[in-house]
Chain A
């Protein structure tokens, strides 16, 4: 099969890493070879796949040793069900340039030929604050972008901003980057699914999966596991498996039409 590269973007704290890790776990159990790359200096994207361990980041290795002596085996760690895990890492909060760190990580992974497998899942930090964090959307990397959002206005606002970045990048000649859909990681607000579905429709996309809020997610994390591994029989695990199937079957990749802020607010008011 052709390698699939997907990226999850969304507001900070919305559950991108939880969703990514569970998605990777579910895809892996379909028998697929998965590489998950955490693109956030917080470096906690792959933690649940690594049973609670923070793996050394690519940037840590480069900082300590220089990129000449770093090898592929030191950057890639095998997690749950053989999922290959990489954390880009980055500077301490408040210094340096995290965006450049993402660019450097990608160049290094490329140099080592690490970007292989059936599916690569890029888990990217909250907002596309600079060019570096748009790197996973660029030519040769993720072609399918999923927005993770709840029904909260600020979360939709961030998702809408990411639509702007996708729209801008997709207008470039060679760009194959497209919006693949919206994942609702719910806060259990009333009419939340309807709201997020309508938001997705208005930005020229679709709601791919509604994931309700469930305590099992926290319990699994306290046990340092994904829900897929910790409680495969739970309803929540089934939501992630459905998401995984839909991601693999998805053929609707669009150029998004971001909303004006007034329209976005009016939309939120409509579903209050």
Chain B
């Protein structure tokens, strides 16, 4: 039996493995995701993704199909229902079909890989996502990303393979963004911030793996010189890609005032120049903190909430930078559930603090 505790420091403790994997596969826009289980598992996730996409001002109808298992399927085995469902989605001509499992089909031992292995003229990729075995939401994300990376069979990966960590010939460099949290509220802002930083060192984004792409795009996964993980929970994916494409990875988006170090590290990994960009970023940090000078000296406390420990340490760093004592009896200021990304994240957080302090 597996009793697997969450190994990350992100706040996505627990959660549903299936939902995590779906947050990835539904972003492959020409794919159909078949959820092998009772209809409710699909309905619940469909509602969640639809509502979240509305919240994020990017309404998308997730392309989900349920095998709609009944009690009879559970008793006699669900493999025929999966087989029928796969055949039924073929006429829509999907670029790829993902098959995600639910708790009940892994309990009764359906041989999903066998059904997926049948020739249908389209790639069918199984992702085992039964949650009761001990997986979490982030395990689902990781499993889906690794399964999708398996599709990058024809990836050239020439730059990464020939140049390794260096780029002496001054080839154009690029970075992949790995494992964006497609359900998070600040998804767009966080991507924009990282993209801005990467552009500053002449390292544009190659592939957002996986956010709003088509299956063909995945083939370019091996072409980047560096993989930028959204957060350290994705290290297993980073390791997998490193083994597969020899692409080194950065463990996390820059947190709080960490952008200058981020720039240096990324530039070093892909052989780019960072001195000017770092200087500009440091100046931007000084300038930004300067616009919050009115907060200096305020005694604050952090509102107790379920937050990532990294968000707490980022908040403490900001409090130090603005000479704001953190005391138990200080004015309660909000903490984000996930750490602020770059100076843009810092600015949004400090705006919230200002509202709390001047309320």
Contact = CB atoms under 8 A, between A and B. Distances in A.
A101 interface: yes
The 7 closest A-B pairs by CB, nearest first: A95-B77, A96-B77, A101-B75, A97-B108, A96-B76, A91-B76, A100-B75
Interface string A81-106: 00000000011100111101100100
B357 interface: no
Interface of A: 59, 62-63, 66-67, 90-92, 95-98, 100-101, 104
B231 interface: no
Interface string B101-116: 0000001111000000
A97 B74 contact: yes
A37 to B, nearest CB: 17
B180 interface: no
B71 A63 contact: no
B72 interface: yes
A101 B78 CA distance: 14
Interface of B: 71-79, 107-110
A96 to B, nearest CB: 4
Given A63-B76, A91-B76, A92-B77, 16 more contacts: A63-B72, A66-B72, A67-B72, A90-B75, A91-B77, A92-B76, A95-B77, A95-B108, A95-B110, A96-B73, A96-B78, A97-B74, A97-B75, A97-B107, A100-B75, A104-B72
Interface centre among B72, B78, B79, B110 (most CB of A within 10 A): B72
Nearest to A102: B75
25 contacts: A59-B76, A63-B72, A63-B75, A63-B76, A67-B72, A90-B75, A91-B75, A91-B76, A91-B77, A92-B77, A95-B76, A95-B77, A95-B108, A95-B109, A96-B73, A96-B75, A96-B76, A96-B108, A97-B107, A98-B75, A100-B71, A100-B74, A100-B108, A101-B75, A104-B75
Contacts of B79: 95
Contacts of B73: 96
A66 B72 CA distance: 8
B43 to A, nearest CB: 22
Contacts of A90: 75
A220 B193 CA distance: 84
Given A96-B108, A97-B108, A104 B76 contact: no
A59 B76 CA distance: 9
A190 B225 CA distance: 79
Contacts of B110: 95
Contacts of B78: 96
A91 B110 CA distance: 13
